[in-house]
Amino acid sequence: MSTIILDGRAPAQELRAELRADIAVFTEQYTHPPQLAVVQVQGDAASDRYVRSIRKICNTTGMAFHLAQLPTDTTQATLEQSLRQLSADPAVHGVLLQMPLPAPLSAEQAVLHLDYRKDVDGIHPISAGLLAQGRSTLVPNTPAGGMELLHHYGITLEGKRAAMVGRSAIVGRPMAALLLLANATVTLCHSRTLDLGAVLRECEIVAVAAGRPGLVTGDMLRPGAVVIDFGINVQDDGSITGDVDFAGAAEVAGAITPVPGGTGPVTNVMLLRSVLTAARNQEAARHS
């Protein structure tokens, strides 16, 4: 059986082109571009790289970008004030709170100061609650990218058995909710799941976000299963590996994402799409 490699780079390129066109239409209609503001507390090199990549994709698609950089010793009150200010600024349509935050700052507390209508990574409890109820909302970008990849490769979900390994608020739980919305029958697995392999072998779709390199091996998969690996684990030599043992899994799976080059490239594009959606909603409400 030949395994389909779910390459994220080609769809990301197509989606960027679509976004560029949609942003141009928005800008002409409202005489200003949609704007993303990123709030970043300094001091994390990986976060710096991510912010640079977001700035670049904003520049190439015509979206306005604002970076609110706060010093490492920022207080919780200053961080929350920054989120409130950006939430109240009509020129800003989307606000991304960049993780991780240095201790003792609390992201959970900070996010409560963000207007959920500008919560373009779907982390506010109102966004999460709406998604859990199957209602329209802004969705976390990583699982949105996973769903986009499945859609791009024509993988249908209705009636399929799907497992999500990992139950974080930013990847696992929203991905499980999105799979359910697509009418899959969903099992949400975690570190206390007994016999993970027995659960996964039942499933036609397996998505993984555990932060454990090589957690899912080929013998845990049903032949022909579709495997979405969200894992990003930096090895000692600096290389990146996923949560799935790619070589072993690819011998059994029908389709599988590589790491890197699978879900990753689609994630940033989903962020910009989310900002555009938020901007359209806000401008439509303002002009109605």
The site for ligand NDP (CB under 6 A) is made up of 142, 165-168, 170-172, 189-193, 196, 209-212, 215, 230-233, 243, 263-264, 267
State in angstroms the smallest separation of the CB of 204 from ligand NDP: 19
Which lies closer to ligand NDP via its Cβ, residue 26 or residue 230? 230
CB 279 within 8 A of CB 64: no
Cα separation, 98 vs 101, in Å, equals: 7
Distances from the Cα of 272 to the Cαs of 34, 61, 258, in angstroms? 9, 9, 23
Exposure letters 140-179 (e unless 16+ CB within 10 A, then b): bbbbbbbbbbbebeebebeebbbbbbbbbebbbbbbbbbb
Which lies closer to ligand NDP via its Cβ, residue 33 or residue 172? 172
Which lies closer to ligand NDP via its Cβ, residue 166 or residue 258? 166
Which lies closer to ligand NDP via its Cβ, residue 87 or residue 168? 168
State in angstroms the smallest separation of the CB of 36 from ligand NDP: 17
State in angstroms the smallest separation of the CB of 64 from ligand NDP: 23
Query: Which tokens hold the place of 253?
Result: 């799976």
Which lies closer to ligand NDP via its Cβ, residue 39 or residue 210? 210
Which lies closer to ligand NDP via its Cβ, residue 4 or residue 107? 107
Which lies closer to ligand NDP via its Cβ, residue 267 or residue 282? 267
Which lies closer to ligand NDP via its Cβ, residue 22 or residue 243? 243
Which residue has the CB atom at the shortest distance from ligand NDP?
A: 168
State in angstroms the smallest separation of the CB of 142 from ligand NDP: 4
State in angstroms the smallest separation of the CB of 196 from ligand NDP: 6
State in angstroms the smallest separation of the CB of 101 from ligand NDP: 14
State in angstroms the smallest separation of the CB of 54 from ligand NDP: 12
What residues contact residue 101 under an 8 Å CB cut-off, 6+ apart? 41, 79, 107, 110
State in angstroms the smallest separation of the CB of 39 from ligand NDP: 17
